[in-house]
Structure 1
C-alpha cells in the first residue's frame, strides 16, 4: 500500500512530548499516511500541559483526559495502551504513530506489529533502546522542526557531521555496507531507495537527519566511500550506489 493511502492513528503521550513539535510531528506523519485519529493523553487540569492548548486547537488533536489517581503512577500510559488496543481491533488502520519517550510502550508496539500493522515511534534521544527497536521506524523528535521556524531556534538540532566524523562511525558504515551488500545486483550497484529500506529494517532509528543531512543521498555523498550515479528508469530518475573500487 502506498504511504499516502495508509490510514494512521496518532497517539501522543503529552506528558512526554513537547507541544512546540506538534506541527513538525504531524508534517512527518503525513509522509507515511493520513492521520485519521489524532489524540493526546494527559491530565489536562495540570499546569504542566498548558502549553498544549494552542496546538490542540490548531492541529485538530483530540485531548483525552486522564487524571493521575495515585502519586508516582502514570495513568496516561495505561489509557493510551487501552485506546490503542481498542483501535487495533476495529481493523480500520494500517499503522500507528506512538509519540513518547517511555519504555512502557515497548510491548504495545510489538503487539501492534504482530497484527501486521506498521508502527512509527517518535521520541527524544533518551528513549530506551527496547522501545526504539520495537518500532518499524523511529524518529527522534529533535530532527522535527516547524516549517516557519527561524535558524536561531534550531540550535539543538543535530549538527552536520563532517566526512571525518562519519567515517569514524563504525556502526553507520557497517549498516550501510551490509544494506548495500544485501540490495546490490551482480555488478555491485543497488538502488539508493532499496539501501535505505534495508538500513531502516535493521535499525529503526536510522535517519540521515540524525547526521545533519536532509536526504540519504547527501549523507552517502558526504561519507565519500561510495560511488553514485543517476539513472533514467521509466519516467523518472533514480540514484544508484556502490562501494568504491567495485567493478
Structure 2
C-alpha cells in the first residue's frame, strides 16, 4: 500500500464561505489525508455563525482570534504562526491554504522552500501572486459549479424513465431552464451558465471581472505548442498524463474544470493542431503529438470540400405535370 501524504488544511474564515467546506475536504482527499483541519476567525461575530454546523459535521477545529483593532486582520497572523509550528513539527508533507487573500503569498513560498506540497484554494477573485506561490491552486466556485452540474445531470437521468420523462422535459422547457436534449434514450442537461463559452475563453473571463486572474486558454495553447516542439522523441509525441503534469507545474491554477471539461482528453481534443493516439498493448496509454502541416492541410481541404458540397448541393425542381384536355 502506498503511503498517502499528510496534509494540514488551514482555512481563513474571513475570506471563505461555509458552503465550500465539502469541496475543500473532497478535493484535498485526492492528494492525501487531512491530518490537521483548522479554521481561523473571530467566532464572536455574527458573520461566522454559518460555520458552526459544518465544523461539527466535518471535525474541523475552530481557532478563536479576536480583532485587536478595526481594519487590521489578526486572523492571518495566527494562521501563519500555526502553519510554521506545524512545518517544524515535521508531521505533514503538504499544506492546503484556503483563502482568497494575497497575504498568504509569502507563507506559501516559504512552505514550498521547505519541500512542502502547497495546494491553494480560493475563489476566482484570488490575486495572481498567491496562485503562483502554490504548487497547485483550485478555484472553489468552479469546484462547486462542477459538482452541482454533475448532480443535476444524475438526478435528471434518474427521473427520466416511463411517463415521467416527457413531463420532466416539458417542465424544464416551460420554466425556461437550461436546455434538455435527448440522445440514445438518455436525457442530458446542458448548463450554459456553468460552462465557459468560446468568446469568454478567448478573453480569459466568464462574464465577470473575478476571472481576470485565471490563466487564459490562449496562454495554455501557446505553452502546449512550445512543449511539444521541445520534445526530443522521434515521433514528437508526449504522454497525456505528463503533458497535464507539466501544465500544472507551469500554471498552478490549471484545471480542466476551469474550462468546462471533466477529462483532459476532452480538453485537448478542442485544439485542432493536436493529434491524440492510443499506445500500449491494450491501448490504454494515450499520447499527444502535433499534427504535421500535411495533415492540417488535408483536414482543411476536406472541411472546405464538405462546405462546398453543402453550398452547391443540387436542388431538384419538381417537373410540372402537363394536363391535356380530352377532345
- TM exceeding 0.5: yes
Deviation of 1:47 (Å):
0.8
**Are the structure 2 counterparts of residues 156 and 55 from structure 1 closer, same or farther at C-alpha, using a change threshold of 3 Å?**
farther
> 2:259 aligned to 184, 206, 211, which one?
211
Superimposed CA distance per residue, residues 173-207 of structure 1 (whole angstroms, 9 cap, x where no aligned partner): 11222333456622111001110111111111111
Look up the SS of the partner of 2:31 in the other structure.
coil
Q: Distance in 2 between matches of 1:42 and 1:28?
A: 22
Q: Distance in 1 between matches of 2:239 and 2:198?
A: 24
Deviation of 1:150 (Å):
4.1
Superimposed CA distance per residue, residues 24-61 of structure 1 (whole angstroms, 9 cap, x where no aligned partner): 11111011111011111101111111111121011111
Q: Distance in 2 between matches of 1:63 and 1:157?
A: 35
**Are the structure 2 counterparts of residues 236 and 244 from structure 1 closer, same or farther at C-alpha, using a change threshold of 3 Å?**
closer
Q: Distance in 2 between matches of 1:91 and 1:183?
A: 38
Look up the SS of the partner of 1:21 in the other structure.
helix
**Are the structure 2 counterparts of residues 132 and 107 from structure 1 closer, same or farther at C-alpha, using a change threshold of 3 Å?**
same
Superimposed CA distance per residue, residues 192-242 of structure 1 (whole angstroms, 9 cap, x where no aligned partner): 111011111111111111100012111101233211112236x88221111
TM-score normalised by length of structure 2: 0.68
Look up the SS of the partner of 2:70 in the other structure.
coil
**Are the structure 2 counterparts of residues 61 and 209 from structure 1 closer, same or farther at C-alpha, using a change threshold of 3 Å?**
same
Larger Rg over CA atoms: 2
Q: Please, what is the CA RMSD of the aligned residues?
A: 2.8
Look up the SS of the partner of 1:67 in the other structure.
coil
Aligned pairs for 1:142-181 (under 5 A) are: 142-145=141-144, 150=152, 158-162=194-198, 165=201, 169-181=217-229
* Runs of 5+ unmatched residues, structure 2: 154-176, 178-189, 204-215, 296-327
Q: Distance in 2 between matches of 1:237 and 1:5?
A: 25
Give yes or no for the alignment of 1:223 onto 2:271.
yes
The answer on whether the counterparts of 1:41 and 1:80 sit within 8 Å (CA) in structure 2 is: yes
The answer on whether the counterparts of 2:201 and 2:259 sit within 8 Å (CA) in structure 1 is: no
- 1:121 aligns with 120
- 2:235 aligns with 187
* Runs of 5+ unmatched residues, structure 1: none
- 1:239 aligns with 286
- 2:245 aligns with 197
Instruction: Compare relative contact order (CA 8 Å, sep 6+) and give the higher one, 1 or 2.
Output: 1
Q: Distance in 2 between matches of 1:178 and 1:100?
A: 33
Q: Distance in 1 between matches of 2:16 and 2:80?
A: 16
| More deviation, 219-228/142-151 | 142-151
- 1:19 aligns with 18
- 1:82 aligns with 81
